[in-house]
Structure 1
Amino acid sequence: MLKLGFAFIIYISIVCFGNAANEAKLPIHFPKAEILNKYTTRIPFKLVDHLIVVEAELYNKKGMFIIDSGSETMILNKVHFGKTYHFHRNTNKVSGVNELIDYSYKKRIKAFDLNGFKLENKISDVIDLSHIETSKKIKLLGVIGYNILKDYEVFIDLYLNQITLTKVDKKGNKLNNKVYLEKIVDSLNFSLKKHTIVVNGTINKHKVKLGIDTAAEFNQINKSINKKALKYFIPKKRLKLNGVSNKTIRVLAGKLHRVKLNDNVYFGPMYTVLTNLNKMNEVFGIQLDGILGYEFFAQKRTIINYQKEKLYFIDYPLNTQ
């Protein structure tokens, strides 16, 4: 089952189309990317609400891609590619940004050119992302997920609004060590459950298991979590959240305090929603107590190394004003 980042989860179905298998050998281009060396590129991004999006071009179409560490594969938006290109029907259920989707289509991208980095034979799922496109007011070509990101060490920098990708070997060692000018100040081990980053931590000293997802616009905490941890969720208001299937759910939003991942990695109060994560846990196949998304990256300049299953952290510059 394909899995993507989410702020909340809603089931929808999509009508199938096409079953031919034509494959075009056209690359994706990132026009604003900067090549740092043979193995490293830096791509500026912008935040659309709390989603990280990069400008790209695919099949002569220009638009935006969401960077989603919670997505198992690359995804193309059927709105822009469904009428011209042919795809295989995907018989498995998949999940999408903010939702689960019953059916999708498969497309093999023979050449994925990341402004100089060429990846061969990557599979892309094709689904209807029109509601995200409408709600975010962007031309959304698709989503870049785990099957692209895993081959790189990925530096998500919300201070400079840029993502740095540097090629690694099978053991996670960078092919060029002259990448970061900034000093790495701490690190943290994680476990990779299929493609999902899972960390152990505490909330008010109560042990929790948390997923980390670059496309989660809101941190989430499970309603069923221990009351000792919920004591430090301070509710502020109720929100109505609209999913890409146009369904609405009501959640309790507030600030979550006393979150620590180890003795050195801890957080200030984080904007969080209290919700039911049962459906999400079915998808992940693991009992998660919550999801850390935008608020996590807003406080931590974070490097992800999938092969080593390790997070590295770089400090924000001190504000001297």
Structure 2
Amino acid sequence: MLRLFCFILFLAFSINQTNANDDASPPIFFTKAEVLDTYTTRIPFKLIDHLIVVEAELLNKKGSFIIDTGSETMILNKVHFPDFYEYQRKNQETSGVIQSIDNSYERRIEAFALESLKLHDKDSDVIDISHIEKSKKIKLLGIIGYNILKDYEVFIDLHLNQITLTQVDRFGNKLNDDVYLEKIVDSLSFNLKNHTIIVNGTINNQKVKFGIDTAAEFNQINRKVNRKALKYFIPKRRLSLSGVGNKKIEVLAGKLHRVKLSETIYFGPMLTVLTNLNKMNEAFGTQLDGILGYEFFAQKRTIINYQKEKLYFIDYPLNTQ
């Protein structure tokens, strides 16, 4: 039987950043790839199944990183970075969507080159995520999360398979206004709970709260959501769901209909899994009714501005064929 594995990487991690030597050399600067201007870089990505994957270099190793807005910090794959000692063990557990993960470590990253993006003095958690690497058949060095992305306006474009990062000030204003050739057609406010993007919406006119996560291969809906909302979840099959902790659970998968985030922002049917979100809500201190992931970005070319707590949307080109 064909088994479908869904690697939803909605993670919460602690971060301890340093501001040392900020005046001497910027912690983030652009070097060699497609630099649009002093403050903006464009990074191509591949879709591995439904995961956004970029090529990067870290500690003289080249490989793939998953872009995950649901992860608070950078995650390193322990398989490729095994030389850690007990004094680097974290004092607290790291929480994943399916379970809490222990035996994680922290390491300060002195230099990290992501295409044209280079970072200095970033903390990273170290976790064994080799099961994802094996399933996706890629050399997975790790995961790029919120602490890397938060200082930028992030344009995630599944039409052109590229991410555009443009630096912003502490108020969220772009340092260069002439960034996008396309026209922004709509926007939506969100709440930032720690590092989690939370939006209000409705399913069949029933109020719900969604988290937005670029590394959720399929949407999730809480089985405890209002029955009037669940009426428009149409189950199709069962699949196996695996998280960073490599625990698997079986869930119902189907299509979710009648999702709206505003009067002008709504979606066609989205592939969604029905699951229990209690563990995740406990880990993040939230009360989410669902997670919007790949299916969200596949329908909406989306710009994330963390400082302004705003999402902006650009239309897909009309299909004239």
TM interval, short-chain normalised: 0.7 to 0.9
Q: 1:7 matched to which residue of 2?
A: 8
Q: 1:24 matched to which residue of 2?
A: none
Q: How does 1:309-320 map to 2 (within 5 A)?
A: 309-320=309-320
Q: How does 1:149-298 map to 2 (within 5 A)?
A: 149-298=149-298
How far the C-alpha of 1:129 sits from its partner, in A, is 1.2
Aligned: 1:134 with 2:134: yes
Q: Deviations over 1:238-266 (max 9, x none)?
A: 22234454433211111100000000110
Q: Deviations over 1:89-110 (max 9, x none)?
A: 2111113586531231111123
Q: 2:147 matched to which residue of 1?
A: 147
TM-score (norm 2): 0.88
Q: Deviations over 1:284-304 (max 9, x none)?
A: 101100000000000000000
| RMSD (Å), alpha carbons | 2.6
Contact 2:216 2:291 in 1 (8 A): yes
Cα distance change of structure 1 residues 9 and 316 upon mapping to structure 2, 3 Å threshold? closer
Give the percent of matched residue pairs that are identical in Structure 1 and Structure 2: 76
How far the C-alpha of 1:134 sits from its partner, in A, is 0.7
Give me the whole-angstrom Cα distance separating, in 1, the residues matched to 2:117 and 2:86.
26
Cα distance change of structure 1 residues 39 and 210 upon mapping to structure 2, 3 Å threshold? same
Q: What is the one-letter code of the residue matched to 2:193? A: K
Give me the whole-angstrom Cα distance separating, in 1, the residues matched to 2:259 and 2:185.
19
How far the C-alpha of 1:84 sits from its partner, in A, is 7.4
Q: 1:306 matched to which residue of 2?
A: 306
Contact 1:29 1:56 in 2 (8 A): no
Give me the whole-angstrom Cα distance separating, in 1, the residues matched to 2:121 and 2:127.
19
Q: What is the one-letter code of the residue matched to 2:91? A: T
Q: What is the one-letter code of the residue matched to 1:263? A: E
Contact 2:55 2:62 in 1 (8 A): yes
Q: Deviations over 1:70-116 (max 9, x none)?
A: 00001111111113799722111113586531231111123334455
Query: Runs of 5+ in structure 1 lacking a partner?
Result: 11-26
Q: 2:23 matched to which residue of 1?
A: none
Q: How does 1:63-74 map to 2 (within 5 A)?
A: 63-74=63-74
Cα distance change of structure 1 residues 108 and 139 upon mapping to structure 2, 3 Å threshold? same
Give me the whole-angstrom Cα distance separating, in 2, the residues matched to 1:181 and 1:290.
33
Cα distance change of structure 1 residues 229 and 51 upon mapping to structure 2, 3 Å threshold? same
Q: How does 1:28-67 map to 2 (within 5 A)?
A: 33-67=33-67
Give me the whole-angstrom Cα distance separating, in 2, the residues matched to 1:111 and 1:39.
19
Give me the whole-angstrom Cα distance separating, in 1, the residues matched to 2:194 and 2:211.
12
**Local SS of the residue matching 1:240:** strand
Contact 2:88 2:105 in 1 (8 A): yes
**Which is worse superposed, 207-216 or 123-132?**
123-132
Q: 2:101 matched to which residue of 1?
A: 101
**Local SS of the residue matching 1:79:** coil
Give me the whole-angstrom Cα distance separating, in 2, the residues matched to 1:43 and 1:107.
25
Q: What is the one-letter code of the residue matched to 1:259? A: V
How far the C-alpha of 1:191 sits from its partner, in A, is 0.2
Contact 2:72 2:146 in 1 (8 A): yes
**Local SS of the residue matching 2:215:** coil
TM-score (norm 1): 0.88
**Which is worse superposed, 109-118 or 74-83?**
109-118
